Amino acid sequence: MNDNINTIQMTTQYTTLIFVLLTIMSANCSRISNRNNFVKTFLSETHTNISPTPDNNAVLGRAAMYAVLAGSKTTNSGSTTVVGSVGVSPGTAFAGTAVNMSSGEFHAGDASSLGAQADLTNAYNNLANTPGAINKTGTDLVGLTLGPGAYKFNVACALSGGILTLDAQGNSNAKWIFQIGTTFITAANATVRVTNGGSALNVYWQVGSAATFNTGTIMVGNVVAYAAISFGAGATLHGRALARVGEVNMLSNSIQVSN
């Protein structure tokens, strides 16, 4: 009889212990789920690969996997779609409404974004010091057709509207480098296009301060800015928005690492 009572008591104790352990595990799982849901209020992620060009890997290093990389903060308003990773470093803030990511990952102040920023600094300096650039200071880009090469603007650069054509002349490896001393600003609905077999991803805009792409701008290339990069409503970028120290600000945009 006593043995039966002891057995019942031990069974009850084990059952209670198991119940307590399951309760703790459930609470932990709930906290993890809530944390993941919090992250995904800003970013909806699937992990598929993008394809940087060989030149992207050589010039941008670890930053080549990022479609958007900021130094201090990344913000978004409205519906923005990004193809490629989104990161910020040394800052960690991502503010505003959700960014829809059809490819890539989100990195805030971690080893990946820190490494990408280190390579971005190298890329910025190397692009700024590329020799042999044709000096275009004071020239508006509107209506121009430019072949592969390097082009220099001692101060600001503007695309005041209309179309800038980058003619690859049948060379799929054609490359353009724009060295801009201060700001780069496009007017509303301005367009940059690559023709005759070139890749939008082999265009590099090294911007000495801030880049601003106004409403409806259709932009191509890798924007490597020292300070901030800002997109007006509906502006699109086939390339990358990479800011060394400032913010990347989005407003219902499409930014994708593609041609």
Distance CA 11, CA 68 (A): 58
Query: Please, are residues 197 and 215 in contact by the beta-carbon 8 Å criterion?
Result: no
216 is in which domain, residue-wise?
43-256
pLDDT at 213: 98
Residues 63 and 115 in one domain: yes
pLDDT tier for residue 49 given thresholds of 50, 70 and 90: low
Query: 63 and 31 in one domain?
Result: no
Same domain as 90, residue 33: no
Q: Characterise 161 by phi-psi region: left (phi > 0), alpha (psi -120 to 50), beta (else).
A: left
Examine the domain organization and report whether 18 and 54 are in the same domain. no
Q: Are residues 35 and 53 in the same domain?
A: no
DSSP 65: G
Strand partners of residue 95:
75
Q: What is the pLDDT of residue 43?
A: 41
Exposure on the CB side of residue 122, measured as CA atoms within 13 A: 15
Would you state the pLDDT for residue 111?
A: 97
Q: Are both 36 and 86 inside the same structural domain?
A: no
Whether 130 shows a pLDDT value over 70: the answer reads yes
Phi, psi of 130 (to 5 degrees): -60, 125
State the pTM of this model. Answer: 0.83
Looking at every residue in the chain, the average pLDDT score rounds to 86
pLDDT score recorded for residue 215: 98
Instruction: Please report, for residues 1, 11, 20, 25, the alpha-carbon distance to residue 15 in angstroms, rounded to integers and kept in the order given.
Output: 21, 6, 9, 15
- Name the band, by pLDDT with cuts 50, 70 and 90, for residue 50: confident
257 has pLDDT over 70 = yes
Tell whether 30 and 86 lie within a shared domain: no
Report the domain count for the chain.
Answer: 2
Residues 104 and 58 in one domain: yes
Question: Amino acid identity of 128?
Answer: A
Residue 210 shares a structural domain with residue 245: yes
DSSP run (H or E) holding 33: helix 2-40
pLDDT grade for 42, boundaries at 50, 70 and 90? very low
Residue 202 shares a structural domain with residue 252: yes
Based on the fold, state whether residues 22 and 91 are members of the same structural domain: no
Q: How confident is the model at residue 28 (pLDDT cuts 50, 70, 90)?
A: very low
Distance CA 222, CA 207 (A): 10
Residue 13: phi, psi to the nearest 5?
Answer: -65, -45
For 32, phi then psi, to 5°, come to -65, -45
